Amino acid sequence: MNAETNEIPNRFDFATSATEIYDQWLEHGCFNADVDKTKKPFTIVIPPPNVTGALHLGHALNNTLQDIQIRMHRMQGDVALWMPGTDHAGIATQAIVEKRLKELDNKTRHDLGREKLVERIWQWKEQYETRILGQLQRMGCSCDWRRTRFTLDSQCARAVRSTFFDLFSKQLIYRGKRLVNWDTFLQTAVSDDEVNPETIKGHFWHLRYPFIAPKAGEPKFVTIATTRPETMLGDTAVAVHPDPAAALDKAEKLLREKLQVASVKDQPAIQSQLDELATRKQELLPQLILLANMARDGRKLRLPLVEREIPLITDTWAKPELGSGCVKITPAHDPNDYDVALRCSLPMLNIMNPDGTINENGGPYVGLSMPKARMKVVAAMDDLGFLEKTEDREIDVKHSDRSKTPIEPYLADQWFVRMEQLAQSAMDAVTHGDVKIFPARYANGYLDWLGEKRDWPVGRQLWWGHQIPIWSKTFEAAAEAHSLQSKIEAMPERSAGLISVSIEEPATVHVCIREEDGGLEVKLQSLGLVRQEDVLDTWFSSALWPHSTLGWPEQTAELEYFYPTSTLITSRDIITLWVARMVLMGLNNVGKIPFREVFIHPKILDGYGETMSKSKGNGVDPLDVINKFGPDALRFGLVWLCTETQDVRMPVQFECPHCETLVNQTKENRQQPTVACDKCGKKFSTQWAEKDEDKANPKAPVVSERFEVARNFVNKLWNASRFVMMNLDGFEPMKVDFQSLPLEDQWILSRLATVTKTMQTELKHYRYAEAARAIYDFAWDHFCSLYVEMAKPRLQDPEARPLVQQILAHCLDAMLRLLHPITPFVTEAIWQQLVRFAIKRDLHSSAVANTWIIRADWPAVHEEHIRPEVERQFAHFVDLVGAIREIRSRQNIAPKIAIQFCVRCEPAMEKLLAPMASFLQSMAGATATQWSSSPTLPSINAHVAIDQMDVYVDLTQFIDVDAEISRNEKLLSNLVKQIQGKEGRLSNESFVSRAPADIIAKERQALDELVAQRNATEQAIEKLRSL
RNA sequence: GGGCGAAUAGCUCAGUUGGUUAGAGCGCCACUCUUACAAAGUGGAUGUCGGGGGUUCGAGUCCCUUUUCGCCCA
């Protein structure tokens, strides 16, 4: 904008304006939220993005939705606090840094050591935190940056220590041996949520174990089948079903039931299974019964290779309908076998080192990796004649989500949180309605997951995270442990509540220290206690986020005022991992729920319906979208698509850096380092470019044309504002009597009041797309296409001009405020210019407009302006304009040529529409010659029937007979179709006798009108033919 | 295997308690540089509402079933 000449460019220059505006907001503390008891608090804590990498479009959506709520509540006069921060994302971040360490320096974390590695991760964190916060700022997020937290900073650390100490003291934390998912690459246990099954090609090896001293008539071997033969080194039993006959009968019964209800297509497969079962009964069953008896008789086997004696046992885990009917039991390396071992009191033999190699229990195979051990074991068994056969088979192998390497089930010491009570409290919070989840269907998953009340394994064998604050010592004898326990219990720190002590059977002492305290640590170390190496699961610290960020465990003024927070806005994949745990931790620590509402927003998918990810190459950086379309378009575009039921599908394009053409991303080209432009043919590079030859091509931003709608809307808004401002010279605020306003003014004010009300209720209920559509329709169709068009002639009339200026200024003002939460930059830019033309512009207030729209009041709903009958009346005008325009277009009459028409209507309609003559002139280029219940028709005319009016456009000068005939014929066939439908319905006896009277009456009336129209149309066609 | 969700115009999506001829934006076609906006304006064409069955006078909407896709859990 040129301040001297009042010239306004016809595009919003977001590239320079956005940062200027954001800096101004920052400079003036517009985002700051401080305790003010005269006002209501409104609080949101950000779902802290992981510092693993830059933000993607999913984050952009998530944060836009939060910013909208924050900005709206801020305008509504609440103290709106948006608490920002990032998450250390334990395993994910460490995995990335370790991977880079390997790639760049070819080193492992052990080469570096704990301290050095953690230092490196902090560097990584600083780099990405800066990038992430920068991205949020470019999006316009109005967080209170003074309060930015990190889940690993000292304040969060203190909250973690306090929580851990509290749970430990309540005996809700314990250590136990459990079979865990072991990631041999990262050398840590990972939770079930961090592993994914992948189907890979494997083998099914059938192995024989010899019996020790079998009796006459008994088999010499038992055959088992396994996909992981190396685990035989840790076998401690072989199981057979206790009653194989009954088990086979049961399996058969199930199959027969299935066959009964199966579709024809599925029947053959089930039948063949039944046939196989019958064969088994014949051939295998006697053998299995014999084996079950042998097991009961205590028969033993000699485990080959390690030459260990192991029992044959009976357990229902052995399935007679599968394989050989017998199964090897490896308790320390298989979850099902682990359960069997618990049931049958079998020893558990660990054969693996943390790095995935065979340990000393593996006999001759010690030191080999699991895959190498597998090959050697199979070869050795083959040499011994114990390999019966090998089958190819597809098998599901769990893979670590982080390192992408296969998971080894592994028996390890793990720290757990007992979930029984905690989970129940979080379930109650939702079932009692204290925490409301939108959309409600997501409550199911939350409740189901918590309902399992599985204890939470919280330890991770990592270096990046909150180290578990427990010092332990294991003794030979229980008595020694108890004596140390007594000694510690007698310490003054114990009575001061700084330490807590417990015994893990049989002889381990655990001491938990409440707060960071070097002296105390030394004291415990002098007693021979050693700190636990493990760190806590990253979700442990994020679970405290709503209260730890507000200062807990201190009872701060912020905590008292802003907690519980108002709403949590997040994505569905972390409802259990994060949302549920925040609820239970909030209840445990603060005694109150952490938030009253939770809104689960859709996921952003690409054009193929796949989730976006960097590894697929279909990810979109919000900054690319901002650079091309602007931050407001990014936000509006996301909101426009954020509906309640559907995920957001978003086809992705490369933007050619040479010619700016959008090149569709396909499953092929998104994986390639360089792609050729569809249009100019020149090459550009993608995220995969690594070689110099690829990098030589300029990199293409990845965007989506879905944002064009929003960009166009922002432009429309900008130009409508430009029009208003260009026509505000000489503007003086004036008092307005609503009742005596012309129809068009009453109408736009009624529309404005309605859309204000809609925005408020839709946003309150998180129906973002509906809100966006409401304001879009208002701004584009109602304000721009109709009101502004009608304002044009009025602005030329000195008498009408002041009033129109007032209404325009008022509407623009309110519209900008309604849009500000969604499109903050463009509305602020316009707002600050508007001040120069109209500093007082609100119809209801003589106050000077606020300097900042971010600080302006949210528009009040003026119920008294909502006039449904005015909106109905106005619709007649819109219909009339449309009818005339259609004829113009059909007859191809140039816009500059004036035409005439007459209308058959009742006097009331004439009274309503005759005063609008000037608008018909300006908007349809047409003049009415008559308004009458029986007008004299032009000799050649085109007739259009609209609600309560017949419009006859004079075509004496213009007639294109063929065009008019074809228009009428089309109309006629349409009418005939409808008449047939209605006549059919009304002649249907059951419709007439059963449908409600008002529906029937409506149908009759509609039919009469249609028949009248048909007759008129037929006559018109006849007349046209005679010309 | 269990649970949740989706399937509507070429594309992305609306469609409240069942009730005239199922809507929007983009794209497409035609015509317009009309001084806010060509990122615009005006008009137009485009649908077996995934398939099958049922309830009902009447079904995109309710019920059953089936197919395909996505997500979560096992």
What pLDDT is attached to residue A169? 93
Nucleotide B40, nearest residue via CA and C1' = A716
Residue A982 tokens read as 């209605």
Taking the CA of residue A979 and the C1' sugar atom of nucleotide B21, their distance in angstroms comes to 11
**Distances in whole angstroms, Cα of residue A42 to Cα of each of A34, A66, A562, A566, A676:** 11, 12, 7, 6, 50
What pLDDT is attached to residue A543? 94
Residue pair A238/A260 in contact by the 8 Å Cβ criterion: no
User: Could you tell me which of A843, A717, A723 has the C-alpha nearest to residue A777?
Assistant: A717
How far is the C-alpha of A548 from the C-alpha of A526, rounded, in Å? 33
Taking the CA of residue A266 and the C1' sugar atom of nucleotide B64, their distance in angstroms comes to 20
Q: DSSP for A110-145, please give it.
A: HHH-HHHHHHHHHHHHHHHHHHHHHHHHHHT----G
Residue range(s) of every CATH 1.10.730.10 domain in chain A: 728-866
Nucleotide B11, nearest residue via CA and C1' = A651
What pLDDT is attached to residue A972? 84
Kind plus residue range of the DSSP H or E element containing A459: strand A459-460
What pLDDT is attached to residue A4? 42
Mean pLDDT by 10 residues, chain A (1027 residues): 60 92 95 95 94 88 94 96 93 84 85 89 92 95 95 93 94 86 82 72 87 86 88 90 85 70 59 79 86 89 89 86 84 85 85 88 88 90 89 79 81 87 91 88 86 86 90 90 90 89 89 90 90 91 95 94 94 88 94 93 84 78 92 92 82 87 84 85 87 89 89 93 92 89 93 92 89 92 92 90 94 95 95 89 86 93 90 88 88 85 91 88 90 89 85 84 83 83 81 82 84 86 84
Q: Backbone dihedral region of A113: left (phi > 0), alpha (psi from -120 to 50 degrees) or beta?
A: left
Nucleotides of B under 7 A from a protein CB: 3-7, 11-15, 19-21, 25-27, 30-32, 34, 36-45, 56-58, 66-67, 69-74
Listed in order, strand segments (DSSP E) in A826-965 are 899-904, 926-932, 941-946, 949-954
Taking the CA of residue A717 and the C1' sugar atom of nucleotide B44, their distance in angstroms comes to 27
User: Could you tell me which of A546, A518, A547, A540 has the C-alpha nearest to residue A531?
Assistant: A518
Residue A974, CA: closest nucleotide via C1'?
A: B21
How far is the C-alpha of A427 from the C-alpha of A541, rounded, in Å? 20
Supply the ipTM of this predicted assembly: 0.93
What pLDDT is attached to residue A973? 82
How far is the C-alpha of A766 from the C-alpha of A777, rounded, in Å? 19
Residue pair A898/A925 in contact by the 8 Å Cβ criterion: yes
CATH number of A196-397: 3.90.740.10
Residue A975, CA: closest nucleotide via C1'?
A: B21
Q: CA angle, A586 as apex, A580 and A587 as ends, to 5°?
A: 95
Residue range(s) of every CATH 3.90.740.10 domain in chain A: 196-397
Taking the CA of residue A126 and the C1' sugar atom of nucleotide B38, their distance in angstroms comes to 46
CA atoms within 13 A on the CB side of A795: 21
Taking the CA of residue A248 and the C1' sugar atom of nucleotide B58, their distance in angstroms comes to 54
Residue pair A350/A410 in contact by the 8 Å Cβ criterion: yes
- 3.40.50.620, 1.20.120.1200, 1.10.730.10, 3.90.850.10: CATH of A728-866: 1.10.730.10
Taking the CA of residue A267 and the C1' sugar atom of nucleotide B51, their distance in angstroms comes to 21
What pLDDT is attached to residue A2? 44
Taking the CA of residue A894 and the C1' sugar atom of nucleotide B49, their distance in angstroms comes to 39
Residue A889, CA: closest nucleotide via C1'?
A: B43
Instruction: List all residues 6 or more positions away from A279 whose beta carbon is below 8 Å from its beta carbon.
Output: none
| Interstrand relation of A941-946 and A949-954 (parallel, antiparallel or unpaired) | antiparallel
Taking the CA of residue A629 and the C1' sugar atom of nucleotide B47, their distance in angstroms comes to 32
HEC secondary structure over A895-924: CCCCEEEEEECCHHHHHHHHHHHHHHHHHH
Instruction: List all residues 6 or more positions away from A337 whose beta carbon is below 8 Å from its beta carbon.
Output: A317, A328, A329, A330, A331
Residue A995, CA: closest nucleotide via C1'?
A: B57
Residue A723, CA: closest nucleotide via C1'?
A: B36
Residue A396, CA: closest nucleotide via C1'?
A: B74
Taking the CA of residue A968 and the C1' sugar atom of nucleotide B28, their distance in angstroms comes to 24
Which residues, in sequence order, are bridge partners of residue A477? none
| Residue A578: DSSP 8-state | I
What pLDDT is attached to residue A1? 44
Residue A646, CA: closest nucleotide via C1'?
A: B6
Residue pair A587/A425 in contact by the 8 Å Cβ criterion: yes
| Burial class of residue A164, CB neighbours in 10 A (0-12, 13-18, 19+) | buried
Nucleotide B24, nearest residue via CA and C1' = A773
